[in-house]
Amino acid sequence: MAATALVCAVAGVLTMPGVAQAAPDKPKPKSAKELAEVHRQVEALYQKAEKATDAYNLAQERQRNQEKQLTRIAESVTAAQKEMAELRKQAGAMARAQYRDGGMPPEARMLLNTDPEGFLDGVALARKGQHATKGVLGSLARTQSELDRHAKDATAKWTLLEQTRTQKDAARKDVKAKLAAAKKLESELAAEERERLRKLEADKAAKAQSKWLRSGALQDTKGEASTAGERAVAFATEQIGKAYEWGAEGPKTFDCSGLTLRAWGAGGQAIPRTSQEQWRQLPKVDIKDMRPGDLIIYHKDASHVGMYVGDGTIVHAPRPGRNVTLAGAGSMEILGVVRPDAATGPKAPKAPKAPKAPKAPKAPKASKSTE
């Protein structure tokens, strides 16, 4: 009873008017140094997520190709099985014919033939029969060999497909883990700190761009886009404002290489799916020779890509939480430049208009006679 009374008394004191309760301590805002460290960690996580996204996209593309190969093998097996059934039917008909003839070899039947002309006809028919039998048996053996080879190919392709699916699942988990870690770091910031973080990000990009421009990287860059490049740039810039989504190729959302893939598809050129494969497979050009439509590959691991649109600017899908946008081409670490339509020259300049022919002077009016 005494303990209960004490608890009630304490509760009453705490709820009495005029008795202030201690407010929880407000978290101390992060210093510029602490915020810079958060930015470094977030940026590193998003870059690792992009690398994992590339691994996922590559596995996805391989899976699609392997599934197509398995479909083609299945179609070949169906055709070979149909041929095998027909050949077996022919072989069965030959066996039944021989049984009806009492199993007597054709040579014996010819020797017993007393008609000379009939004998010669029998020789010709026997030879044809032998060739037909050999042809059917040979075709049976060849078709069986084809079926065996298709079965072996299918087993190997299926094993590769299972490995690719495993790699894709691992890459998906890696992407999600990196993105979750980055979002967690950002969510722990107060609204004011998140705004400071965004400004820090923008300032860093602006400084990098300014330094790149001062280096004279664009001093001699005067390349004109090819016709296909113009179409690719037009498509990419039309997507400005659409959200980034890892693994997406449009039409509503894109990741960085999904945007360049679809843009160059609109330009009539097929290119690899990932930024790493774009860097590995497409022809490289010097920055001084860069022209609109070229792809700029970023970071040492080639984990990001943007499309050059001219005047030192790229269009790209930056990262989760951001939209397709324009940015300084030098705002990130450039690995190099590749050209999807390297075999195509810049568009032909428009022919100057022919000058208009000068108008013929009017004939002077005849003067009136003053007779």
How far is Cα 111 from Cα 113, in angstroms, rounded to an integer?
A: 5
Q: Is the pLDDT of residue 241 over 70?
A: yes
Between strands 313-316 and 304-310, the pairing is antiparallel
* Closest residue by Cα to residue 151 from 78, 68, 66, 62: 78
% of the chain residues with pLDDT over 90: 36
How far is Cα 339 from Cα 297, in angstroms, rounded to an integer?
A: 11
- The ranges assigned to domains in the chain are 33-187, 219-338
Catalytically active residues, by annotation: 256, 304, 316
How far is Cα 308 from Cα 226, in angstroms, rounded to an integer?
A: 13
Strand partners, 297: 305, 336
pLDDT at 154: 83
Each residue's pLDDT tens digit, 138-179: 776 777 777 788 788 888 888 888 888 898 899 889 989 998
What order of strands is seen across the sheet that includes strand 313-316?
Answer: 284-285, 334-338, 295-298, 304-310, 313-316, 325-328
> What's the average model confidence in pLDDT over 45-62?
89
326 SS3 class: strand
Contact status, residue 332 vs residue 298, Cβ threshold 8 Å: yes
247 SS3 class: coil
How far is Cα 4 from Cα 91, in angstroms, rounded to an integer?
A: 103
Name the least confident of 87-91, 118-122, 188-192, 324-328: 118-122
Q: What architecture is the 33-187 domain classified under in CATH?
A: Orthogonal Bundle (1.10)
Strand ranges inside the chain, DSSP E: 284-285, 295-298, 304-310, 313-316, 325-328, 334-338
pLDDT at 243: 97
Kindly report the three-state secondary structure assignment for every residue of 152-168: HHHHHHHHHHHHHHHHH
Each residue's pLDDT tens digit, 80-111: 778 777 767 766 766 666 666 555 555 555 44
How far is Cα 340 from Cα 179, in angstroms, rounded to an integer?
A: 30
pLDDT band at 1 (very low <50, low <70, confident <90, very high): very low
Contact status, residue 67 vs residue 230, Cβ threshold 8 Å: no
Strand partners, 295: 307, 338
CATH number of 219-338: 3.90.1720.10
Each residue's pLDDT tens digit, 285-328: 999 999 999 999 999 999 999 999 999 999 999 999 899 999 99
Name the least confident of 24-28, 47-51, 86-90, 294-298: 24-28
Cα dihedral 91, 95, 96, 100, rounded to 10, equals 150
Q: Counting Cβ atoms within 10 Å, is residue 133 exposed (0-12), middle (13-18) or buried (19+)?
A: middle
How far is Cα 156 from Cα 162, in angstroms, rounded to an integer?
A: 10
